[in-house]
Amino acid sequence: MTEQRVRAQRHLVPHFTPGAAWRSDSLPIFERADGCYLYDTEGNEWLDGLAGLFCVNIGHGRTDLAEVAADQMGRLAYATNWGNAHPPSIEAASMIADLAPGDLSEVFFVSSGSEAVESALKFARNYHLSRGDEGRYKVIARNWAYHGTTLGALAVTGIPRLRDPFLPMLWDGVRHVPNTRQCTSPPGTPVADLSCVRAIEEAILAEGPETVAVVIAEPVQNGGGALVPPDGYWQELRRICDRHGVLLVADEVICSFGRFGYWFASERMGVVPDMITFAKGVTSAYQPLGGVAIRGELVEAVHDSPMGAYVHGSTFGGHPVATAVAVANMSAMRDEGLMEHVLANEAGMAESLAKLADAHPCVKEVRGTGFFYAIDLCADRESGRDLSPTQEAGLRGGVLGGFVREQRMTIRPDDRGYTGLAISPPLIADGTVVEDLVDRTDRVLERTVAWLAENA
Ligand SMILES: Cc1ncc(COP(=O)(O)O)c(C=O)c1O
């Protein structure tokens, strides 16, 4: 066991990792990365099939971004956006406003996705208050959606395993409604009549529209496994929110900055929400940065109201180094044609992954679009047999993770509303990388089929 692994196990508290897994002799320690590949301290090469955590969109090892960070540190390492401003945050906000759909012309920066979500919720409350609409504070969110883990964001997250231990600490203003995969309407139902659409308006009406501040949803929901909505779904959300004076927030912490071939997935959905939360890909994870893009007139309404201010802020929001890196990252993504690359290659990736489904009876369904997919597992597709409770517990409890690790790659074994694998490579992945990703995933599924037979 390497000395670094021992020290990690003794001193470093892991995120969301069971103790037994952290204590494993095979805990990888990554020390460098390049393009779509990571290298551990034992000299092994790993394929990064998850772009870190859906965030290293431009790929690893970009020394040009490192140089921008070093230069900014030398020039102005720190200043706030509290009563003053600085060039990198001005430049980053202007670029994001230009790239955002419709009139989302104002940007508030924070340092993570959870903070971005909380900032959107607080802005909504602030906006309603500034108009004298004092009763509005409730939030409508969807089952199995992940919106972050700090207590405010966790209240909105719809994943029981993450929420339940902390329930006494969570505020009770959130109502969760079915996501698009939980629709019970028969095929051919007009989108406005789908049960998962009706459920949103029914929740608003049940609570009393005058108490509801916000509807929040991801354009393509990650929790539940790459849930692509039916055509027209977002237009219906927009209509419902407008009808009841509720603000619509697209949580694009994963979906923005190219994951679906657009700067913002709302553009792909053809909708202009009132706010878009972002993080991860805005800097391709070369710096921690998150934020909210907000419709200009809403910000003006707050500033011009007796309240006069958005009563929210943080020390590192809009940090000069993080925003300078964001500008460099967005410029490079634009100049190198990453949006075009995703749009040109998404069909190929979808096709290769669909072939895996044909080849392995343990694949129930492959879902997704852009550079973002989920492989949903079952015991046997032909006979329609689902995983038994024991099989599900085994796969979720480390078996699937072990198979992925054997292949030295970082796609994600997932247990949020389905049992399967989440795949989301860096956006620079070309045909060769995609082939490598599909081959390794093929071997994971082969191992899974054999394990299911042994554990029937
Ligand atoms: C949709 C969405 N919202 C919010 C978050 C929280 O972001 P962070 O982990 O940066 O706090 C995530 C994280 O994965 C996310 O996927």
SS3 at position 139: strand
What CATH number does the domain located at 64-335 have? 3.40.640.10
Q: Please write the tens of the pLDDT for every residue from 407-456.
A: 999 999 999 999 999 999 999 999 999 999 999 999 999 999 999 999 98
Q: Is the CB of 251 under 6 A from ligand 1?
A: yes
In whole angstroms, give the CA distance from residue 410 to residue 393: 21
Q: Is the CB of 40 under 6 A from ligand 1?
A: no
CA-based R_g, the chain, Å = 22
Check: CB of residue 208 under 8 Å from CB of residue 247. Answer: no
Rounded (10°) angle between helices 233-244 and 195-207: 20
Which residue matches tokens 């694949």? Answer: 363
Q: Please write the tens of the pLDDT for every residue from 254-308.
A: 999 999 999 999 999 999 999 999 999 999 999 999 999 999 999 999 999 999 9
Q: What confidence tier does 2 reach under pLDDT thresholds 50, 70, 90?
A: confident
What pLDDT score does 26 carry? Answer: 86
Q: Please write the tens of the pLDDT for every residue from 32-47.
A: 999 999 999 999 999 9
Check: CB of residue 49 under 8 Å from CB of residue 423. Answer: yes
Q: Please write the tens of the pLDDT for every residue from 185-229.
A: 999 999 999 999 999 999 999 999 999 999 999 999 999 999 999
In whole angstroms, give the CA distance from residue 110 to residue 92: 13
**Residue 155 CA to ligand 1 centre (angstroms):** 13
Q: Which of 253, 257, 414, 424 best tests ligand 1's pocket when mutated (most atoms within 8 Å of CB)?
A: 253
Nearest ligand 1 atom to alpha carbon 148: 6
In whole angstroms, give the CA distance from residue 65 to residue 91: 16
Which residue matches tokens 């198979």? Answer: 403
Single-letter amino acid, residue 123: F
Total residue count of the chain as it appears in this document: 456
Q: Please write the tens of the pLDDT for every residue from 111-146.
A: 999 999 999 999 999 999 999 999 999 999 999 999
Q: Please write the tens of the pLDDT for every residue from 72-81.
A: 999 999 999 9
In whole angstroms, give the CA distance from residue 122 to residue 236: 24
Nearest ligand 1 atom to alpha carbon 117: 4
What CATH number does the domain located at 3-58+337-454 have? 3.90.1150.10
Choose among 211, 203, 204: nearest CA to 136. 211
Check: CB of residue 299 under 8 Å from CB of residue 308. Answer: no
Domain borders along the chain are 3-58+337-454, 64-335
Choose among 208, 214, 237, 201: nearest CA to 126. 214
What pLDDT score does 1 carry? Answer: 57
Single-letter amino acid, residue 276: I
Mean residue pLDDT across the chain: 97
Q: Please write the tens of the pLDDT for every residue from 219-243.
A: 999 999 999 999 999 999 999 999 9
Choose among 12, 212, 230: nearest CA to 121. 212
3-58+337-454 and 64-335 have identical folds: no
Q: Is the CB of 112 under 6 A from ligand 1?
A: yes
Helix (H) or strand (E) holding 37: strand 37-40
Q: Please write the tens of the pLDDT for every residue from 98-114.
A: 999 999 999 999 999 99
